[in-house]
Structure 1
Amino acid sequence: MEERLQKVLASAGVASRREAEKYILAGRVKVNGKIVKELGTKVGEKAFILVDGKPIKREKKAYYLFYKPRGVVTTMTDPQGRRTVADFAKDLPERVFPVGRLDYNTEGLLLLTNDGDLAQKLTHPKHEVNKTYRVTVPGLVPQDKLDLLRIGVKLEDGMTAPAIVTLIGYDNEKSNTTFDIVIHEGRNRQVRRMCDFIGFPVRQLKRIKLGNLTLQGLKRGGYRILNEDEINALIKAAAINE
Structure 2
Amino acid sequence: MTVRLNKFLSANCGVSRREADRLIESGLVRINGEKVTELGVQVSETDNIELDGDPVTLSELEYYRFFKPRGMLTAYGDGRGKETLEEIPYLREKKLAYSGRLDYDSEGLIIFTNDGDLILRLQKSEFKAEKEYLVWVNGDLCEDDLEQIRSGLSTDEMRYLPCGAERIKAGHFRLILTEGKKRQIREIFRFFGLRVSRLLRVRIGNINIDGLRAGELKRLSAKEITELKKCTG
TM-score class, shorter-chain normalisation, is 0.7 to 0.9
Question: Residues 10-159 of structure 1: matches in 2 within 5 Å?
Answer: 10-17=10-17, 29-33=29-33, 38=37, 40=39, 42-45=41-44, 46-51=46-51, 53-77=53-77, 80=80, 82-88=82-88, 90=90, 96-155=96-155, 158-159=158-159
In structure 2, C-alpha distance between the alignment counterparts of 1:137 and 1:120, rounded to whole Å = 31
Is the 8 Å Cα contact of residues 14 and 95 (structure 1) preserved in structure 2?
A: no
Is the 8 Å Cα contact of residues 85 and 92 (structure 2) preserved in structure 1?
A: no
For 1:116-141, what per-residue CA distance to the aligned partner results, in whole angstroms no more than 9, with x for missing partners?
11221222211211110111111233
Which amino acid in 1 is paired with 2:106? T
For 1:88-135, what per-residue CA distance to the aligned partner results, in whole angstroms no more than 9, with x for missing partners?
252698662102422222211011111111221222211211110111
Which amino acid in 2 is paired with 1:165? A
Deviation at 1:223, TM superposition (A): 1.5
Q: Are residues 1:4 and 2:5 paired?
A: yes
Which amino acid in 2 is paired with 1:215? I
In structure 1, C-alpha distance between the alignment counterparts of 2:89 and 2:99, rounded to whole Å = 14
For 1:14-47, what per-residue CA distance to the aligned partner results, in whole angstroms no more than 9, with x for missing partners?
44556656766776655434566x4736351233
Which amino acid in 1 is paired with 2:4? E
Which amino acid in 1 is paired with 2:41? K
Which sections of structure 2, spanning at least 5 residues, go unmatched? none
Q: Are residues 1:190 and 2:184 paired?
A: yes
Deviation at 1:13, TM superposition (A): 4.1
Which amino acid in 1 is paired with 2:200? K
Question: Residues 153-172 of structure 1: matches in 2 within 5 Å?
Answer: 153-155=153-155, 158-170=158-170
In structure 1, C-alpha distance between the alignment counterparts of 2:87 and 2:24, rounded to whole Å = 27
Which sections of structure 1, spanning at least 5 residues, go unmatched? 171-176
Q: Which is worse superposed, 195-204 or 75-84? A: 75-84
Indicate how the Cα distance of structure 1 residues 69 and 52 shifts in structure 2: closer, same or farther if over 3 A, else same.
Answer: farther
In structure 1, C-alpha distance between the alignment counterparts of 2:164 and 2:175, rounded to whole Å = 6
Deviation at 1:144, TM superposition (A): 2.9
Q: CA RMSD in A?
A: 3.0
Q: TM-score, normalised by structure 2?
A: 0.82
Is the 8 Å Cα contact of residues 76 and 92 (structure 2) preserved in structure 1?
A: no
In structure 1, C-alpha distance between the alignment counterparts of 2:49 and 2:224, rounded to whole Å = 32
Question: Residues 195-206 of structure 1: matches in 2 within 5 Å?
Answer: 195-206=189-200
In structure 1, C-alpha distance between the alignment counterparts of 2:207 and 2:57, rounded to whole Å = 29
Deviation at 1:213, TM superposition (A): 1.5
Deviation at 1:142, TM superposition (A): 3.2
Q: Quick one: percent identity of the two aligned structures?
A: 32
Which amino acid in 2 is paired with 1:44? V
In structure 2, C-alpha distance between the alignment counterparts of 1:18 and 1:74, rounded to whole Å = 24
2:174 pairs with one of 152, 177, 180: 180
Which amino acid in 1 is paired with 2:198? Q
Deviation at 1:195, TM superposition (A): 1.4
* Count of residue correspondences: 231
Deviation at 1:210, TM superposition (A): 1.1
Indicate how the Cα distance of structure 1 residues 203 and 217 shifts in structure 2: closer, same or farther if over 3 A, else same.
Answer: same
- Secondary structure class of the residue paired with 2:203: strand
Q: TM-score, normalised by structure 1?
A: 0.80
Deviation at 1:66, TM superposition (A): 0.7
Which amino acid in 2 is paired with 1:190? Q
